[in-house]
Amino acid sequence: MAVAVSSVADIARKAKRAARTLAQTDTAVKDAALEAIAAALEERIEEILQANARDMQLGVEADIGDALLDRLRLDEARVGAIARAVRQIAALADPIGEVIDGHRLPNGLDVRKVRVPLGVVAVVYEARPNVTIDAASLCLKSGNAIILRGSSSAAYSNAALAQIAAQSAIGAGLPDGCVSLVAGGGREELTELATQADSVDLIIPRGGESLKQALQAVATVPVIYAASGNCHVYVDSSADIQQAQAIVINAKTQRPGVCNAAETLLVHERIADEFLPQVLSALAAARVSVRADARTHDALARHSDIPNLKIEDATDEDWATEYLAPIIAVRVVDSTEQAIEHIGSYGSGHSEAIVTRDTTAARAFQLGVDAACVYVNASTRFTDGGEFGMGAEIGNSTQKLHARGPIGLRELCTFKYLVEGDGHVRA
């Protein structure tokens, strides 16, 4: 396996050679490689957990915070889930060679538009070691070679997982260089990777705004940003109160340190007096801090008997913040249109939800909100490749070209036109 002892340019060239072979590799061979990876994860779980324990200890000593520690942490259940995701990917249909469109021209030429691999995909990610295996599995299944660059906070975990993936894949018949890890360098290494335009076909960064800005400044390789998620839940005037509360609590607390967690709650004025005391009491019980507008404070003031509610005043910065923590901003709005306007001003285009029994409001929200995933009566936490039946994901794109939402197998493909004739020449 390629590691930091090789230069980034050498790793990229080796991956390019591997990609040429992978593009022609049979589905059965790719699936066998994924099964080998899944089995090795289960067999070498102690090795993985020992490496992760070193990262966790260093993270605690560096005081990286509970949200990042949760992203970093591996245990038997999480490793088992990673292995299951690999098998789920193996069980999916191979997108390579799929005919997207086809027709015969009036001149007799047969034209087919078919899916093909991108080639070499580099994935740059922070904290989450599971991305090492998710990304590698998705790339191998879709016929792509992958170059992994994780963060220093997960260095030991990533090294162990990438080695297992590479060794298992090569042992099952995939080419050397199909899975590579670059590690140990700083921003200079990132810059070098982002400028390997002759060898790397796509970079997918999965991290915060600082990583996005760093790549925007230097990248000559095409980039799909698996970007931040400033997600909202809007509770409409017609919402079922109990359903709305369950959705809000799930969207905020089920795993607050991830990009599809809700960061802002918008509540229609007609339901505010009834709904806000209940949902904010439940959030307080879940130890979620609240940043609220004046109208929320007013609604709560009419219910002074509610204990343990400590609410700060919201600022414009709060509306624009992806907390990735047990904090939520709350605003009362006059209408669905005002909720849509707020989301348009502050949302990141990731995942947005409305809770309503009014089909007109639901349709207006679906049409008016510009985001990768728009939910009606469901939690934003479902924005995930695994939940969407993709097996796993490399990230969630908030862009519109060339992928949007969870990046799975088909998003790791491009296409080519195959044209067949019988001595045709153009007049």
Radius of gyration of the chain (CA): 24
What pLDDT is recorded for position 3?
A: 41
CB distance 201 to 74 below 8 Å? no
What pLDDT is recorded for position 126?
A: 82
Domains along the chain with CATH numbers: 8-226+394-420 (3.40.605.10), 231-382 (3.40.309.10)
Q: How far apart, in whole angstroms, are the C-alpha atoms of residue 241 and residue 275?
A: 7
Picking from 63-72, 119-128, 270-279, 406-415, which range would have the lowest pLDDT averaged per residue? 63-72
Q: How far apart, in whole angstroms, are the C-alpha atoms of residue 179 and residue 148?
A: 8
User: Which residues have C-beta within 8 Å of that of residue 26, sequence separation ≥ 6?
Assistant: none
Read off the pLDDT band of 67 (50, 70, 90).
confident
Q: How far apart, in whole angstroms, are the C-alpha atoms of residue 216 and residue 415?
A: 26
Helix (H) or strand (E) holding 39: helix 27-43
What pLDDT is recorded for position 213?
A: 87
N residues, the chain: 427
Q: How far apart, in whole angstroms, are the C-alpha atoms of residue 231 and residue 394?
A: 19
Picking from 29-43, 175-189, 225-239, which range would have the lowest pLDDT averaged per residue? 175-189
What pLDDT is recorded for position 106?
A: 97
What pLDDT is recorded for position 4?
A: 42
Compute the C-alpha angle 187/190/193, nearest 5°: 155
Q: Which amino acid is at 2?
A: A
pLDDT digits (tens, 9 = 90+) for 8-63: 999 999 999 999 999 999 999 999 999 999 999 999 999 999 999 999 999 999 99
Long-range own/partner contacts, residues 184-188 (CB < 8 A, 24 or more apart)? 184/4, 184/155, 185/4, 185/8, 187/214
Read off the pLDDT band of 188 (50, 70, 90).
confident
CB distance 18 to 12 below 8 Å? no
- Strand, helix or coil at 146? strand
